[in-house]
Amino acid sequence: MDEFKKRYDGLVIGGGIAGMQAALDLAEQDYEVLLIEKDPSIGGVMIGLNKVFPTLDCSSCICTPRMAESVHHKNIKIQAYSEVTSIRRHDPGFKVTVRKKPRYVIEDKCIGCSQCELECPVDVPHEFDHGLGARRAIYIPHGNAIPQVATLDVDHCTFCGRCAKVCPTQCVDYTQEAEDVEVDVGAVIVTTGLNITPMDAKKEYGGGHLINVMNPLAMEAIQASNGPFGRPLRPSDGKVPRTIAYVQCAGSRDHTIGIPYCSRVCCMYALKQALLLRHYLHDVEITLYHMDIRAFGKGYEQFYRRVMNEGVNIVKGKVAKITEVENQDLLLRVERLDEGGRLEERRYDLVVLSQGLVPAWQGKGVLDIELGDDGFFKSISPKISPVLTSAEGIFVAGVAAGPKDIPDAIVEAGAAAMEAAIHLEGIGYREQVLTASQS
């Protein structure tokens, strides 16, 4: 489904694992789906993960086939690097405005050959590697990106013209502008997912200024063989770390930063990363400081026990402060909850903050649906059908509805697709559209 149509049965906002699953499940029922993704590629957080708990399967090996299936499905139109700027009720469905951001590359003509990237003289910290690697000012986001189309970053481009000169299909267009497109849809599924809490949320942990204090997504990137270093190294000096600490609840269950809820996946992703570090760097010493371990899913408790058996130190203790000392090492001041609150100081080469999950998008000015106290989209029927929102015809799935892991996000996406299908049938969307077009 290549061309942009004027009408779709379903609109999915957000092309992570939940969005792709919702789009596929609707499309398989013969509904036509428009999937809008704000980034240059679909895939969401999952395409940037190294391996997934508790099976330790390669994350992109699971995610990439879903991406390919979505883009090749005859009933799905994917519009990446675009945003929904308005959704208005327009019986029997909604009128939606989509803003296609300018890539400064003609998408239909780009063949993804990377000639432009190779020729570009400008290096920019790469978002996909969390700033640890570099990309060019004109770039394809990563090897598994869909669509495999270049995007020119005007904030860093020097307009030297070298990319345009070398492009075999003449698809670089410095004059491109944002384009607004209006479409009618019968149902909306919101799957806009997560951000992690900002690094500067907790000043006691360095406020984002300490180079060897990493965020967990950057750790995923450096563990990956296709990551910026190809193996886990310290960002400050490229040395192999010998001692690593994980600080749990570094952005969740904390009233002082306005995030009182549990982000649910942090214990499991920290255990996963710690175990993999033990595999990658055999004599590394890893300590995970936690308030309590929440291993809530199928096989998760067993995974937790495996991690302990494989030599990761799991310590019930609250990290009060992280300070940088000589050699950019890190001194942790810890209240040992397992030893009656005794204070101790330990020095580490590298620290990973298990930052929590916050909503990536709250729909401000676009979606008039209720948010919960936690800021995620509110489910009006959390026990019976968690995908229902306060607005009829608008459904929510994945982390957009609250913190959860990949299996739960996928199941919820399937449920949202079913509710959307039931809604479309219930309002007789196709029949109404047909009648309107004939009159």
Ligand X SMILES: Cc1cc2nc3c(=O)[nH]c(=O)nc-3n(C[C@H](O)[C@H](O)[C@H](O)COP(=O)(O)OP(=O)(O)OC[C@H]3O[C@@H](n4cnc5c(N)ncnc54)[C@H](O)[C@@H]3O)c2cc1C
| Pairing outcome for strands 57-58 and 51-52 | antiparallel
The binder of ligand X chosen from 92, 141, 193, 232 (CB under 6 A):
193
Q: Are strands 330-336 and 313-324 parallel, antiparallel or unpaired?
A: antiparallel
Measured from the CB of residue 232, what is the shortest distance to ligand X in angstroms? 14
Candidates 40, 92, 216, 251; binder of ligand X (CB under 6 A) is 216
What is 257-300 written as a DSSP string? GTB-S--SSHHHHHHHHHHHHHHHSTT-EEEEEES-----STTH
Residue 215, CB-side half-sphere exposure with 13 Å CA sphere = 22
Distance CA 165, CA 159 (A): 11
Site stretch for ligand X (CB under 6 A), options 114-122, 203-211, 212-220, 418-426: 212-220
Identify residues 68-127 at the interface with ligand X (CB under 6 A): 83
Min CB(430)–ligand X separation in Å = 25
CB of 51 to ligand X, least distance (A): 7
Taking the complex as a whole, the smallest distance from the CB of residue 6 to ligand X amounts, in Å, to 20
Q: Which residues in the 123-152 window bind ligand X by CB under 6 A?
A: none
Does 46 bind ligand X (CB under 6 A)? Our answer is yes
**Is 186 one of the binding residues for ligand X (CB under 6 A)?**
no
Among positions 9, 25, 39, 419, the unique one binding ligand X when judged by CB under 6 A:
39
Among 116, 360, 391, 416, binds ligand X (CB under 6 A): 360
Nearer to ligand X, 171 or 219 (CB): 219
Give the residue among 208, 200, 201, 224 at the shortest CA–CA distance from 50: 224
- Binding residue (CB under 6 A) for ligand X from 19, 92, 232, 393: 19
**In the complex, what is the shortest distance from the CB of residue 190 to ligand X, in angstroms, rounded to a whole number?**
9
191 contributes a contact to ligand X by CB under 6 A: yes
Residues in CB range of 258: below 8 A, 6 or more apart: none
Q: What are the structure tokens assigned to 235, written together? A: 């960002």
Among 8, 31, 53, 303, binds ligand X (CB under 6 A): 53
- Measured from the CB atom, the residue of 161 and 299 that comes closer to ligand X is 299
| Coil/strand/helix, residue 194 | strand
| Range 323-330, long-range pairs (CB < 8 A, 24+ positions) | 323/206, 324/206, 324/210, 324/212, 327/237, 328/210, 328/211, 328/212, 328/236, 328/237, 329/212, 330/210, 330/212, 330/213, 330/245
- Look up residue 167 and give its amino acid: C
What is the C-alpha separation between 107 and 236, in angstroms, rounded?
Answer: 38
Check residue 192 for interaction with ligand X (CB under 6 A): yes
Of 70, 66, 46, 19, nearest to 189 by C-alpha is 19
Selected binder of ligand X within 14, 186, 386, 393 (CB under 6 A): 14
Please report how close the Cβ of residue 265 comes to ligand X at its closest, in angstroms: 4
Q: Is 227 an interacting residue with respect to ligand X (CB under 6 A)?
A: no
Total number of residues that touch ligand X (CB under 6 A): 39
**CA neighbor of 93 nearest in space, from 436, 388, 439, 438:** 436
Per-residue binding letters, 377-416, with ligand X (x by CB under 6 A): ---------------------xxx---xxxx-x-------
- In the list 23, 26, 33, 36, the residue contacting ligand X (rule: CB under 6 A) is 36
Q: Which stretch binds ligand X (CB under 6 A): 17-25, 229-237, 384-392, 424-432?
A: 17-25
The least distance separating ligand X from the CB of residue 204, rounded to whole angstroms, comes to 21
Query: How far apart, in Å, do the first and last CA atoms of the chain sit?
Result: 27
Gap between the Cα atoms of 430 and 433, Å rounded: 5
The first and second tokens of residue 101, run together, are 């951001």
52 near ligand X, judged by CB under 6 A: yes
- Dist CA 262 CA 274 (whole Å): 20
Residue from 96, 196, 201, 369 binding ligand X (CB under 6 A): 196
Using rule CB under 6 A, residue 352 touches ligand X = no
**Are the CB atoms for 84 and 38 separated by under 8 Å?**
no
Between 194 and 387, name the residue whose CB sits nearer to ligand X: 194
Residue in 265, 307, 369, 415 binding ligand X, rule: CB under 6 A: 265
Count how many Cα atoms sit within 13 Å of the Cα of residue 103 in the half-sphere of its side chain. 26
Between 116 and 278, name the residue whose CB sits nearer to ligand X. Answer: 278
**E strand or H helix that includes residue 346:** strand 342-348
Residue 299 backbone class (left: φ over 0; alpha: ψ -120 to 50; beta: rest): left
Q: Which is nearer to ligand X, 194 or 275 (CB)?
A: 194
> Which residues bind to ligand X, rule: CB under 6 A?
13-19, 36-39, 44-46, 49, 52-53, 83, 191-194, 196, 216-217, 220, 265, 269, 272, 360-361, 398-400, 404-407, 409
